[in-house]
Structure 1
Amino acid sequence: MALGLFWATVSLVVFLLISTADMLGYLKPKNHFDVDGKTVVVTGGSQGMGRALGKLLAQRGANVVIVARDRQKLEAALKYISAAAKDVEKQRFHYISADVTKSEENIRIVEEVTSWNNGNSPDVVWANAGGAYSELFIDTPVELMRSQMDLNYFAAAYLAHATLRSWLRPASTKQTSEAAAAVAPRHFIITSSVVCFVGLAGYSPYAPAKSALRSLADSLRSEVRLYNGYRRANPSKGPAADVEIHCVTPGTIFSPGLDNENKTKPAVTHILEESDPRQTEDEAATAAIKGLERGGYLITTQWLGSLLRAGMLGGVPRNAVFMDTMKAWLTPVIWLFMQPDLEGKVLRWGEKNEVKLPQ
C-alpha cells in the first residue's frame, strides 16, 4: 500500500510539473501553421472575425483572399488587411464576391483562387462565413431555419467539398518519397461556435448548424487520413500534399454580427450569457491562429469554451494531453452547479414574465 501511495504521489507530481511547464510556455512545439508565403482563403472575410483573421494572416506573410457578398465591404476590408502585410512587395491580396450558400459558387471560388494563384491550389482554406439568428424555436419562421442551416452549415460543407476535390487529385508532377515528405500539409479550417458544446434557450435556430459543423469536421478529419496514407505509400501517384482538418469554436465576439444577432435575441438568452467572457475580433482571431500554430484540432478561443470543450471531447484528439485531462476531470464537477443554474434561470424567467404562446 505504501509503495502504491509513493508511485501515485510521484505520478501526480510529474503530472503537475509537466502541466505547469506547458501553461508557462516552456514546452513550445514547432509552428504547425506557418503561412509565410502561402495562399490563404477566408470566407466571411469582409468584417468581424474574418477580417481580423485576414489581418493576422497578412502579418504572418500570407497571400490572402477574402470572400463575402458585399463588394464595397470587401474592398474596404482588403485595404485594411493589405496594410498589415509583412512584406508589401512579395505578398498579394484579392477578394471574391460570392454567395457561399450556393454549391456552384464555392466551386467558382476554388477555381478563381487557383487561377489567381498561378494555377496552384490555395494552401489554406478557412470556412468562416456564418451568422447567428437568435430566437425561440417556435417563434422562428421555418424559412429562417433553412437559411440558418444554409449559411452556417452548407456553406462550409460546399466549400469543403470543392476544396477537397481540388486538393486530393493526383499531383501534376511526380514526387519521390523524400520530396513528398517535405511538403507542408494543406489546412481546411471550419469556424463553428461554443454553442456546439451546450444548448441554450434562444439558439435553437443556430446551434444545430454549428453542431453539425463540428460533426462534419470530425468525420473529415478521419476521412482525409485515407488519402494521406495513400499519398505516403504512393508518392508518385497521390495528392500533392497531406490535408489537415481543424474546427475553431469561438464564443461571443464584439462584431457587427453580434449587433445583428441581438436584434432578435430573447431576453432570457441575454440572461443566460450575461456572465460569459466576450472577446474583440482581434482577440478571437489571435487565439484561433495560436491554436492552429500549436497543432490543435478542436480549438477554442477563451476559457469558458475551453472548459466546455473538455467536457465534450469523447473520441476527439487532445490538443494538450495534460491540460485537457485536468479540465476533463474538473468540468463534470462544474456542470453539477452550472446546469441547474442555467435551467433555473430559464424556468424563473417563464414564471415571472409573460411568454408568447403560438396561436
Structure 2
Amino acid sequence: MGFLNRGNKFEIDGRTVLLTGGSYGMGRSIAALLSARGAHLILVARDPQKLHSALAFAKSHAKNPSTQRFHYISADVTSESENTRLLAEAVAWNNGRVPEIVWTNAGSASPMLYIESSIETLRKQMDLNYWGAAYLAHKTLKQWLYPETPYTHDAKPEAPRHFVVTSSVVAFTGLAGYATYGPAKTALRALCDALQHEVLLYNGARRSGKKSATAPAPFDVKIHTIYPGTIKSPGLEQENLTKHPVTHLLEESDPAQTEMEAALSAVRGLERGNYMTPTNWLGELMRLGCLGGSPKDNLVKDMLGQWLASIVWLFVRPDLEGKVWGWGKKEGMPDFKPQTK
C-alpha cells in the first residue's frame, strides 16, 4: 500500500514459479511472460498433451534459455491429495526448496440459470474454482512458514515469497447467469483478504526483538489476487455453450481481451506490487466500487476512485437490473432446460 509504487515488486528472474492452470488460455500466456522474465517454471494441469505444448511455448520465450529450467506436473487440483503430491514433486524438482512463487490460476466457468444447473455442477464449480486454490494455499503457506527442517534465528534474509490467486470480476458483483460460478470466485476474494491480513502476523514476527522457540521464516509472504474479465479464449467458447441469452445481453458491451493482453495486465499489476489486479478498465471500476475493507493498493487513487465508482454504480446497477427485467417482460417465462447430467 502507499501513495506511489516504484520499482519492480515482483522480481522473478532466477526464481521458481509453480503455476496451476498453465496449459491453455490466460495461464499459457502467463507462463510465456514469466519465462521471458527469467523464471524457472513448473506448470500444472490435467492434460499432459496440453502441458507439453504449453511448456514448449514457454521455453520459446525464455530469457536465459541455457540456464532456465522447465517442468510440468499432471494433476487434478480439485483433490487435496493431488495438491499434496504436486507440491511434493515440485519441491523435489526444485532441489528441495518450495517454489518462491505459487500462482493458482486453474479454473473454469459453467454459466447458466441457477435452477437449471445440476447440484453436481454447483459442486464441481466450487471444487475447481475455490478448493483448487484453497488446498494449495494451505499447503504452500504451511511449508513456507513451518518447514520440516526448521529455520534458524540467524538465517540470512531472503526475497519475499508470493502467493497469487486468479479470481474473476464476478467476485465484485452478482450477475444473472453466474450464480453457478460467482460464489466460488467471491469466496476466493474473501479467503485472500483474510490471508493477506493473517500473513502480517508472520511478517511481523521476523522483526520482533523477542526470540520465540520457533524461528520465523527469513522472508516476507505476500498475497495477490487477479481479476480477469472477458477473455477471448477456448474457455469463453465453452462458456457460451451454456450461457443464457440474458447473460449475453449483460455482457454485450464488455471489453474483451486476448489471452496475452489479460496475462500482461496481471503480471504488470504484480510488478507494481498490487494486492488486487483487475485486467481491464471495467474490472478496475468494479474493484473500486466494491473495496470495502479490502486492502488498498494506492490510498489516494483508491479513495477517490471508490467515491467516483459508487456514483457510477448508482446508474450501472439499475441499468443491469433493467436489462434482466426487460428481457423477462419481452420474452416471457424462460423455457426450463435443466442439465441432464
TM-score tier, shorter chain, comes to over 0.9
Question: Is 1:123 equivalent to 2:106 in the alignment?
Answer: no
Q: Deviations over 1:37-73 (max 9, x none)?
A: 0000110000001111100000000001110000000
| Secondary structure of 2:231 counterpart | strand
The equivalent residue for 2:335 is 356
The equivalent residue for 2:117 is 140
Matched residue type, 1:333: I
* Contact 2:255-2:282 within 8 A present in 1 as well: yes
| Secondary structure of 1:66 counterpart | strand
Match for residue 66 of structure 2 among 71, 89, 97 = 89
Identity %: 53
CA distance in 2, matches of 1:247, 1:173: 28
TM-score normalised by L of structure 1: 0.89
The equivalent residue for 1:216 is 191
* Contact 1:167-1:240 within 8 A present in 2 as well: no
Give matches, 1:298-313, under 5 Å. Answer: 298-313=276-291
The equivalent residue for 2:135 is 158
* CA deviation after TM superposition for structure 1 residue 176, in Å: 3.0
The equivalent residue for 1:345 is 323
Moved more, 325-334 or 113-122: 325-334
Question: Is 1:76 equivalent to 2:71 in the alignment?
Answer: no
* Contact 1:40-1:65 within 8 A present in 2 as well: yes
* CA deviation after TM superposition for structure 1 residue 259, in Å: 0.9
- After superposition, the Cα gap between the structure-2 partners of 1:173 and 1:220, relative to the gap in structure 1 and judged at 3 Å, is closer
* CA deviation after TM superposition for structure 1 residue 340, in Å: 1.2
Match for residue 298 of structure 2 among 305, 320, 330 = 320
* CA deviation after TM superposition for structure 1 residue 322, in Å: 2.1
Structure 1: runs of 5+ lacking an equivalent: 1-21
Structure 2: runs of 5+ lacking an equivalent: none
* CA deviation after TM superposition for structure 1 residue 326, in Å: 2.3
Which entry has the higher C-alpha Rg, 1 or 2? 1
CA distance in 1, matches of 2:215, 2:119: 47
| Secondary structure of 2:107 counterpart | coil
Give matches, 1:188-207, under 5 Å. Answer: 188-207=163-182
| Secondary structure of 1:313 counterpart | coil
* Contact 1:168-1:240 within 8 A present in 2 as well: no
- After superposition, the Cα gap between the structure-2 partners of 1:197 and 1:28, relative to the gap in structure 1 and judged at 3 Å, is closer
Q: How many residues align?
A: 331
* Contact 2:193-2:295 within 8 A present in 1 as well: no
TM-score normalised by L of structure 2: 0.93
Task: Give the root-mean-square deviation of aligned CA atoms.
Answer: 1.7
* Contact 1:255-1:281 within 8 A present in 2 as well: yes
Matched residue type, 1:215: A
Q: Deviations over 1:243-300 (max 9, x none)?
A: 1111111111111111111110000000001111111111111111111111110111
Choose between structure 1 and 2 for higher RCO, CA contacts under 8 A separated by at least 6 residues: 2
CA distance in 2, matches of 1:99, 1:358: 30
Structure number with the higher helix fraction is: 1
